[in-house]
Chains A and B, each alone.
Chain A
Amino acid sequence: MLAKRLIPCLDVADGRVKKGVNFVNLTDVGDPVKIAAAYQQQGADELVFLDISATNEQRKTMTDIVEQVSAQVFMPLTIGGGISSVTDMQRLLKAGADKIAINSAAVADPTLIQAGAKKFGNQCIVVAIDTAFDEQAGQYRVYTHGGQQATSFEAIAWAQKAVSLGAGELLVTSMDRDGTKAGFDLRLYQQLGAAVNVPIIASGGAGNLADFTDVFQQSPVDGALAASVFHYGELTIGQVKQSLKAKGVVVR
């Protein structure tokens, strides 16, 4: 039986990890290789690197980071942020990435999903969706450009379309919960799980141990992504896994 995955997400700009990661014994808190190695040590199941660089020029450094991390850290690596072509994907996959997450570019041109899946296989293509509940419309609305731009897309339908085009996994962030530590948006993941049959990674809202138990026991997600609770050492991967195991959730 597949283990539920715990996935730290690292924001990277110009070759350095932003949002200070606060680990004991970590001498260089911005070094992606050292942070990745520390997370491997803790038992992380996968890492997501999100490139938040402002320019395409800065983004090129991501390739070097992937190259270096994959020489020292032996777990699946997903890279996202500013990827808008099959050429970008190929460059990162060649450097050692396992999966590519596309977000705004997929909304702008959904055939990018198809092109990537056809060339590299569905398992390589993660469609990342940022969404918030629109009370008036009574549905989840998709946002792009780091949550700055509302689109006309409804999240569940967009998820289904992305999967039909070849997305092998969905990384779905609840903007309503992101940064709140109020727990994952269970309703969102329940609706998504009923609509698609690819792995779903939940993101946004992780604050305490119970939040992880709830998202795995009350929604059909395969993984949970978090940043600050892990980075600031509020929870270790080990603690979360121990707690999940005690509640009967299968973890590695």
Chain B
Amino acid sequence: MFAIVDYDTGNTRNLQKAFNYLQVPTQLTADPDKLAAADAVILPGVGAFAAAMQALRTRDLVPVLQQLGQAGKPVLGICLGMQLLFESSTEYGEHAGLGLLSGQVTAIPANIGVKVPQMGWNENELQQSTSPFAGIDHEYTYFVHSYYAVSPASQVVASVQHGVQVPSIVQRQNVIGMQFHPEKSGQVGLAQLATFKEMVSANDFSSN
């Protein structure tokens, strides 16, 4: 059973539908005990960084997620959920994140000839050839975001170019993030979720 963190964010249902399609049972919950009992914790998210952190704080979930991530529980953050895994964001002021990944979330520069938000399908470039996500190389996934993670290269599994190098999959051991929407990226997106599921089943996060 995967737990999808229920904190009133946008893409939760579609994410759940994607897992259903892959026949992975999921449960929407904000209950710390259920999160702790799950095989993996999925952190969705759409909207603004500060509002999302506030919503987690209101539900006393910040220390819960931090402890689970530090204790080795597989955590998958998606879109804004991925950004929340980092140390901080500069979206409308400086805000602390969960700090499960190193780095900071910052705005895609608006004056470098690309449209912001990045909205559409972009081509992934694999940065870590031994990753279980290696199949994403040269495949397109669907992005909708205005901020991106400035991350140490050691955490960047794959990236896309949008004026700057945008990390598309990040990983530090059991903590994984996807900037794109796997639930909106067709077969390629579903394949990434299936890969995550296999990593959880095998309990093998050693590639990173």
Contact = CB atoms under 8 A, between A and B. Distances in A.
Interface of A: 1-3, 5, 40, 45, 70-72, 74-76, 93-94, 96, 98, 120-123, 168-169, 197-199, 222-223, 252
A120 to B, nearest CB: 7
B13 interface: yes
A74 B185 contact: yes
B140 A74 contact: no
A34 B21 CA distance: 15
A76 B180 CA distance: 12
Contacts of B17: 70-71, 96
B52 to A, nearest CB: 12
Interface stretch (B32-40, B59-67, B85-93, B112-120): B112-120
Interface of B: 10, 13-14, 17-18, 20-21, 46-47, 115, 117-123, 140, 142, 144, 161-162, 183-187, 189-190
A199 B10 contact: no
Nearest to A119: B47
Given A98-B184, A120-B10, 19 more contacts: A1-B122, A1-B123, A1-B161, A1-B162, A2-B162, A70-B13, A70-B14, A71-B21, A74-B187, A74-B189, A74-B190, A96-B17, A121-B46, A122-B117, A169-B119, A222-B120, A223-B120, A252-B121, A252-B123
A2 B118 contact: yes
Contacts of B20: 71
Contacts of B142: 75-76
B interface, by DSSP: helix, strand, loop or mixed?
Answer: mixed
A222 B121 CA distance: 11
A240 to B, nearest CB: 15
Contacts of B121: 2-3, 5, 45, 252
Nearest to B141: A252
A237 to B, nearest CB: 12
Given A2-B120, A3-B140, A121-B46, A199 B14 contact: no
Contacts of A40: 186
Contacts of A1: 122-123, 161-162
Nearest to A73: B186
A76 B189 CA distance: 12
Contacts of A76: 142, 184
